[in-house]
A and B are shown apart, each in its own frame.
Chain A
């Protein structure tokens, strides 16, 4: 039972981590709260619905295409709409809400309000320590781990990744060192939307695909980043796993609604005790 809950929690938590990473990165670098993050998740899922569900392309090709589609759209929108509002928190939030409304309505217009099912590329289950895990969720978790590893290497070792971290820590000094902030904003938005799109694409066969599918993952991402500290990469990882595990335990023992309320209570406690999140920077 405990192993089962641990397993469920880890499988769910990894997707929360992927969602929260992009969200926290956009905030850390651009100071923009992206309320449209769930809509980029939706776009990834719709691409899988089209390419894999309808056209029958290979699943992983469709997933990659979903991520890339979200990333390209993210970069275009960043240049057109968000660039002018960098570091301007309130208008930035409102702009992201406008983008969220438009993307959602386009989803509604194109695919209708009903939810669509995507056939499962993987079926069956496997067992360890008496805990049962379905293969489809396991594949999602493995992919999430691979994405996380690539993301980690990208931040730690690529020039672009290092430049991003520099801009997040101190934009002025970074620009003195020759980092072009515009490029960094575009790249950060692109990578964040890529992560959201990949998450949605991977989850498409597990949950139903519809225009409202992005709301719950976005709520979870918000909870995760407040838990971990807004702008903190490590905080997003810790917060995501913490949320996944606590939800798995509480929804098994009590109910899914109780788990959600408990996660909100957890957020409030963190806000009272450590206002900058568990791993947020304290200097502010």
Chain B
């Protein structure tokens, strides 16, 4: 596992890169990476219980709109709103989860797809609350202990802290007994149920946790960008998160982190056209699915026998 430390070193070096290179734009891309890493991790948590969730973008949207509206309409302090938005997303998952996860696998993917589309349509159509396709403007800045986040660097630092918290939490979870239960559920549900684990409850717990992370990331995004519209939270964002997991390697927690670092800056080289960006994502995804099945993370891991 020596090589894992190498990966940590590389990630840490990349994290300081924006200060070396400098410039507002570099910090913007870096901040977007720190928002996408927790989202990719939230999808990874669902993959750990063997389920493909296509609702992560919707949870991000619920967190983002929830947080921003709590501050703009009810005068919540922005920082509190970010976490309240996350809780809102988690509560939604807690309500839907027991139904969605009754039937697993393909049905779960289809149900979360439909859920995501409908949440997005609600953002578009309920104009009095969500502002419709013209969106919500004039979102105030975040602040901690009276200090306002006035530059991109502040958001970047905050994003880094949140990434680290999510990563450590998921890593601890993976190593704990719960991690083993998740793995058993993924590999042989009947067997793990016969050993007394409540399959549905653990899956719902993973779903709620992943929605919480996605919701908080959404809140940070909302206050950072300062403008919300439904097209930031479409199904295609959920697909981007899948691309990050496949490219980085979904079997490890480090995988989605590497995936996000690799994937998020990619379209910046061809900023002009969303079309070419999609094309590259698709081609990269197929290359990894066919040729590099376990993702970038394999570069840093001992080859497992067999």
Q: A residues touching B (Cβ–Cβ < 8 Å)?
A: 27, 33, 81, 84, 89-91, 93-95, 97-102, 104-106, 108-109, 113, 215, 219, 222-223, 225-226, 230, 257, 260-261, 264, 267-268, 271-272, 275-276
**Residues from chain A with Cβ under 8 Å of B276 in the complex:** 105, 109
B60 neighbours in A (Cβ, 8 Å): none
Besides A97-B242, A108-B278, 12 new A-B residue pairs in contact (Cβ under 8 A), listed by A number: A27-B106, A89-B105, A94-B285, A97-B285, A98-B286, A100-B239, A101-B278, A101-B282, A104-B278, A230-B106, A230-B110, A275-B102
Q: Are B283 and A267 in contact (CB under 8 A)?
A: no
In angstroms, how far is the closest chain B Cβ from the Cβ of A40?
Answer: 15
Residues in A with CB closer than 8 Å to B52 are 90, 93-94
Measured between alpha carbons, how far is A108 from B278 in the docked complex, in Å? 9
A81 B286 Cβ-Cβ under 8 A: yes
Is B166 located at the chain interface by the 8 A CB criterion? no
- A33 and B278 contact, CB distance less than 8 A: no
Shortest beta-carbon distance from B209 to chain A in Å: 20
Q: How far is the CA of A275 from the CA of B107 in the complex (A)?
A: 9
The answer, among A105, A215, A257, for a CB contact under 8 Å with B282, is: A105
Q: Are A222 and B110 in contact (CB under 8 A)?
A: yes
Q: Which of chain B's residues have a CB closer than 8 A to the CB of A272?
A: 99, 102
Q: Among B107, B114, B275, point to the contact of A105 (Cβ < 8 A).
A: B275
Question: Are the CB atoms of B106 and A33 closer together than 8 Å?
Answer: yes
In whole angstroms, how far apart are the Cα atoms of A214 and B109 in the complex? 18
Kindly provide the distance from the CB of A37 to the nearest chain B CB, expressed in whole angstroms.
12
Chain B residues with Cβ below 8 Å from A27 are 106
Q: How far is B276's CA from A94's CA once the two chains are assembled, in angstroms?
A: 19
Provided the pairs A89-B106, A219-B114, A272-B99 are in contact, do residues A108 and B289 lie with their beta carbons within 8 angstroms? Answer: no
Q: Determine whether B113 belongs to the interface, using a CB cutoff of 8 Å to chain A.
A: yes
Interface centre among A89, A94, A100 (most CB of B within 10 A): A94
Interface segment, B66-74, B118-126, B143-151? B118-126
Specify the main secondary structure of chain A where it touches its partner.
Answer: helix
Give the distance in Å from the alpha carbon of A121 to the alpha carbon of B273 in the complex.
34
Query: Which residue of the partner chain, among B103, B113, B273, contacts A222 with CB atoms under 8 Å?
Result: B113
Residues B122 and A257 in contact, CB atoms below 8 Å apart: yes
- Please state if A33 and B110 are interface contacts (CB–CB under 8 Å): yes
Q: Tell which of A89, A106, A230 touches B279, judged by Cβ atoms closer than 8 Å.
A: A106
| Residues in chain A near residue B285, CB distance under 8 A | 94, 97-98, 101
Are A93 and B106 in contact (CB-based, < 8 A)?
yes
CA distance A113 to B274 in the complex (A): 10
Instruction: Please tell me if B115 contacts chain A, counting CB pairs below 8 Å.
Output: yes
Q: Residue of A at shortest CB range from B234?
A: A215
- Pick from B107, B122, B235 the residue with the most CB of A within 10 Å: B107
Cβ of B232 under 8 Å from chain A: no
Bound: A91/B288 CA distance, A? 11
Is B275 in contact with A109, judged by CB distance below 8 angstroms? yes
Closest chain B CB from A184 CB (angstroms): 20
Which single member of A90, A99, A223 contacts B114 (CB below 8 Å)?
A223
B105: chain A residues at CB < 8 Å are 89-90
Q: Which residues of B contact A91 (CB under 8 A)?
A: 289
Residues of A with C-beta under 8 A to B236: 101
Known A-B contacts A109-B275, A225-B110, A260-B121; the reply to A271 vs B102 at CB < 8 A is yes
Say yes or no: is B158 at the interface (Cβ < 8 Å to chain A).
no
Could you write out 30 A-B pairs with CB less than 8 Å apart? A33-B109, A93-B52, A97-B285, A98-B285, A98-B286, A98-B289, A99-B286, A101-B239, A101-B279, A101-B285, A102-B278, A102-B283, A104-B278, A105-B275, A105-B277, A105-B279, A108-B274, A108-B275, A109-B275, A113-B275, A219-B117, A226-B110, A226-B111, A226-B114, A230-B107, A264-B115, A267-B111, A271-B102, A271-B103, A276-B103
Complex alpha-carbon distance, A275 and B52, angstroms:
18
- Bitwise, B90-101 to A at CB < 8 A (1) or not (0) is 000000000110
Task: Chain A residues near B110: list those with CB within 8 A.
Answer: 33, 222, 225-226, 230
Q: For residue A102, which residue of chain B has the nearest CB?
A: B282
Assembled-state Cα–Cα distance A268/B281 (Å): 32
B89 at the binding interface (Cβ < 8 Å): no
Chain B residue nearest in CB terms to A218 = B113
> B100, B102, B125: which contacts A257 (Cβ < 8 A)?
B125
Q: Does B213 contact A (CB under 8 A)?
A: no
A84 to B276: give the CA distance in the assembly, Å. 27
Q: Which residue of A lies closest to B117 (CB)?
A: A219
CA distance A109 to B242 in the complex (A): 23
The reply on B246 being an interface residue by CB < 8 A is yes
Query: In the complex, which residues of chain B have a beta carbon less than 8 angstroms from the beta carbon of A268?
Result: 99, 111
CA distance A180 to B106 in the complex (A): 26
The chain A residue sitting closest to B118, CB to CB, is A264
A93: which B residues are within 8 A, CB to CB?
52, 106, 109
For B242, list chain A residues within 8 Å (CB): 94, 97
CB distance from A83 to the nearest CB of B (A): 12
For chain B, residues 110 to 166, give those with C-beta under 8 angstroms from any C-beta of chain A.
Answer: 110-111, 113-115, 117-118, 121-122, 125
A94 to B102, alpha carbons, bound, how many Å? Answer: 22
Interface mask (B270-301 → A, CB under 8 Å = 1, otherwise 0)? 00011111110111011001100000000000
Instruction: Please report the C-alpha to C-alpha distance between residue A105 and residue B276 in the assembled complex, in whole angstroms.
Output: 7
> Given the complex, which residues of B lie within 8 Å of A113, measured CB to CB?
274-275
